[in-house]
Amino acid sequence: MTNNKTFVHITDLHISAPELQDEKLRSDTTATLTTVLEMIRGIEPRPSFVIASGDLTNHGDEASFRTLAGMMEGLDLPVVWALGNHDTRAGFYAGLLGSADGADKTYDHDQVLDGIHVITLDTSSPVRIGGDLAGAQFAFLEAALDRHAGLPKIIVLHHAPALDIDPDWEWEGLSFTATERLAATLKGRDIAGIFSGHIHQDRFSHWHGIPLIVGMGLHAALDPLHPATDSIRSVQGTSFSLCTLRDSGLTVTCAPLPSDRRELGIATIPQLQAYEAARAAEFAA
């Protein structure tokens, strides 16, 4: 008899409330999520839970989180929520959790689902495209790692730790400082995998001995064939993953939806930097 545990990883839902008439939405994310939820409902044997690793909404507003909450009704599976750079804590707490408390508090949490200890950290920052983790979040992580000894652990972060310490690409994932501290905190710990999103690519790495899974998500794909020197190219593409944790380790199987890979847009690095600077200025105002 096997001890296999199966769960689903979705990311970068980028849901936008219909009343926003979102012109910056590059694909019909509501239709995509509807399709994917129907597919998840049809999976046999039934998975135990769903990880949704951030960028749950496109603009972080409360109405879009309410739209998402309505869409998730009827899934009938536990969902592990993480926040991304497109989300806001205020919108998430009010629109999805129905709570007015702690709008400025990072959403860090851990729980045991089907014998897996799932630890989630909020890497979102109001002023950055990339992610960060504060000192208090590392204290939470260290305490969480000491809980449920003997259970396999997975970690959910919207922003994956950086693969290279390269000053030109810090927007791609966690800050270098947080990346290095995370590596030190997880050293010697038995982590079955880290699940992330943000860069809109199905990408699998071995990071300090830990499987690091990045999902393409449900919004758009970053073209991995585009030379990533001075711009990024978005193409039509969506995917989610079926994950199995066996006694022998983790398997992640992607379920891409059909795509014509039509171009959705190109953004230059200076444009991304200008967007981030404008966001920081807006936050400071």
Q: How far is the CB of 214 from Fe ion (least distance, A)?
A: 11
* Residue type for position 242: L
Q: How far apart, in whole angstroms, are the C-alpha atoms of residue 70 and residue 28?
A: 17
Q: How far is the CB of 37 from Fe ion (least distance, A)?
A: 18
Cβ count within 10 A of residue 70: 11
Nearest residue (CB) to Fe ion, 55 versus 132? 55
Nearest residue (CB) to Fe ion, 12 versus 108? 12
In the complex, residue closest to Fe ion by CB:
55
Q: How far is the CB of 235 from Fe ion (least distance, A)?
A: 14
Nearest residue (CB) to Fe ion, 183 versus 257? 257
Nearest residue (CB) to Fe ion, 55 versus 108? 55
Nearest residue (CB) to Fe ion, 107 versus 140? 107
Q: Which two three-digit tokens encode residue 157?
A: 């972060």
Q: How far is the CB of 223 from Fe ion (least distance, A)?
A: 15
Nearest residue (CB) to Fe ion, 55 versus 110? 55
**What would the 3-class secondary structure string for the chain be?**
CCCCEEEEEECCCCECCHHHCCCCCCCCHHHHHHHHHHHHHCCCCCCCCEEEECCCECCCCHHHHHHHHHHHCCCCCCEEEECCCCCCHHHHHHHCCCCCCCCCCCCCEEEEECCEEEEECCCCCCCCCCECCCHHHHHHHHHHHCCCCCCCEEEECCCCCCCCCCHHHHHHCECHHHHHHHHHHHCCCCEEEEEECCCCCCEEEEECCEEEEECCECCCEECCCCCCCCEEEEECCCEEEEEEEECCEEEEEEEECCCCCCEEEEEEHHHHHHHHHHHHHHHHC
CA atoms within 13 A on the CB side of 109: 12
Nearest residue (CB) to Fe ion, 13 versus 144? 13
Q: How far is the CB of 82 from Fe ion (least distance, A)?
A: 12
Q: How far is the CB of 85 from Fe ion (least distance, A)?
A: 7
Q: How far is the CB of 54 from Fe ion (least distance, A)?
A: 7
Q: How far is the CB of 197 from Fe ion (least distance, A)?
A: 6
Residues that bind Fe ion (CB under 5 A): 12, 55
Which residues, at least 6 apart from 146, have a Cβ–Cβ distance to it below 8 Å? none
